[in-house]
Amino acid sequence: MVFSGITFLFYFLPAIIVLYYIAPKKLKNLVMVIGSFVFFAWGEIRYFPVMILLSIEDFVCGRLMEKYRSNEKRRRIFMLISVCSNLTVLLIYKYTNFFVGNACAIMGIEVIKLNIILPLGVSFNCFQSISYAIDVYRGTTSCEKSYYDYLTYTTLFPQVIAGPIVRYVTVENDLDDHMLTRDSLSAGMRRFTVGLAKKVLIANNVGYIWNLVSTGHAGEPSVLLYWIGITAYTFQIYFDFSGYSDMAIGLARVFGLTFDENFDYPYISRSITEFWRRWHITLSTWFRDYVYIPLGGNRVSKVRHILNLLIVWGLTGFWHGASWNFIIWGLYFAVILICEKYFLSKLLDKLPSFVRRIYTLLLVMISWVIFYFEDMGALVNYLKGMFGFTGVPLFNNGSLYYLLGYGLIFIVAGYFSTPHFKKLIDYAESSDKKRVWIGASAAYIAVFACCVAYLVNSTYNPFLYFRF
């Protein structure tokens, strides 16, 4: 079965929310766990027993680390058991075919493809469990005393397939307190609606354009058509991923949980350094806290610092997928960040903001070409086409048709990629004027209805981050 998170949400979410709100405080986590069980059964149940066994092991290791708090050696052993177990599961499920395929290619034999299905949310789930083990080891947080509550944390269905990466310390108190109010329910549903609209009304529409261009079904190619295509993908991946993050954050609010923000309008960045402070924030901070800083961060020699950046960003790329293009994508950003750190920062500071934003967006769009194409030949050809090295015309009738026909959706996507609309939302939500509140409520209901109508009638509803 092809998993559809949105289908699950419309079939089961209302029932789960109702049960959660009427359940006694002691049973609320049970409702969350049941919801997560149904979620995984709906998507891919074969990984679920593995996740349960991992959660038991992580919980036991956490308790033992707490027990041997004064014994550094034993504490480190239990931390390593937990971390290595999660990494082993991640490597087996996500990267076995990559390593086997490359080994076959090196030995010159036919590539063997093993029938290993990537489980739902394995990347996010393992990274959350690793962060828990390391935080307990460091003493950043105490271990969870109840396996029941830990299971609630490690199986949180709102975010397990698309983030944000939730650290235990973030929701530790929420799992016990269940601070549910009418305001949290209202705020959560509004945030969920915004995320749903991002995904359904914007990401899906621009994604349709990219699908036509990337598969060669958009007609005769031209330089303009290549740029139209990658512009569409640039918007698609942002609105798809940030939309799912918004839905997860909104659902968390509905259930009385607070998740960290995952996006902060990354396409307005004025450098790649700033871009990665705004894009997939919980992933970049995860690698910073659990890989980059333990390697020494920037408190080392220049050569070692450069090596640290290459390691971290190579791993960041590899986390996204078991293919060489993801590693190249990560190293691509590593090189740019190194250049900005040691060569370009002073020059960039002297440039006007709009020039810096163009510079950043251009580099980001090139990165999405690397990110998308696993086939190296297709990747190189697309980049060559963008810059006119394939002999195609600058533009043709087909590319002008797409520019005029889909220009409005690009303008809308560009506008919603900036903080301007958020200011309007903040005003509507903070206003004490009744007519403003009524108007905003009507707008949310109308947007939600449009999303439902679109989902009912549309057959194009891809989920980009399913494979991660």
Q: Please count the residues of the chain.
A: 468
Contact 194, 440 (CB under 8 A): no
- Catalytic residue, from 217, 280, 305, 320: name it: 320
State residue 461's pLDDT score.
64
State residue 52's pLDDT score.
85
State residue 464's pLDDT score.
61
State residue 20's pLDDT score.
85
Neighbours of 205 (CB within 10 A): 21
Q: Name residue 262's amino acid.
A: N
The first and second tokens of residue 309, run together, are 């950046």
Q: What are the backbone dihedrals phi and psi of residue 159, each rounded to the nearest 5 degrees, phi first? A: -125, 5
pTM, two decimal places: 0.91
Contact 193, 331 (CB under 8 A): no
Q: Which residues lie closer than 8 Å to 225 by C-beta, 6 or more apart?
A: 213, 218, 219, 395, 396, 398, 399, 402
Q: What's the CA dihedral at 323, 327, 332, 337 to 10 degrees? A: 150
320 is catalytic: yes
Neighbours of 107 (CB within 10 A): 8
pLDDT in tens, the chain (468 residues): 334 545 555 667 788 888 888 888 888 888 888 888 777 776 666 777 888 888 999 999 999 999 999 899 999 999 999 999 999 999 998 888 888 888 888 888 887 777 777 777 788 889 999 999 999 999 998 898 888 889 888 888 777 767 789 999 888 888 877 777 777 888 888 999 999 999 999 999 999 999 999 998 888 999 999 999 999 999 999 999 999 999 999 988 888 888 999 999 999 999 999 999 999 999 999 999 999 999 998 899 999 999 999 999 999 999 998 899 999 999 999 999 999 999 888 888 899 999 999 999 999 999 999 999 999 999 999 999 999 998 899 999 989 999 998 899 999 999 999 998 887 777 767 666 777 778 888 888 898 888 888 877 766 666 565 555
- In whole angstroms, how far apart are CA 405 and each of 199, 400, 450, 459? 20, 8, 21, 20
State residue 62's pLDDT score.
94
State residue 2's pLDDT score.
39
- Residue 139: alpha-carbon gap to chain centroid: 27
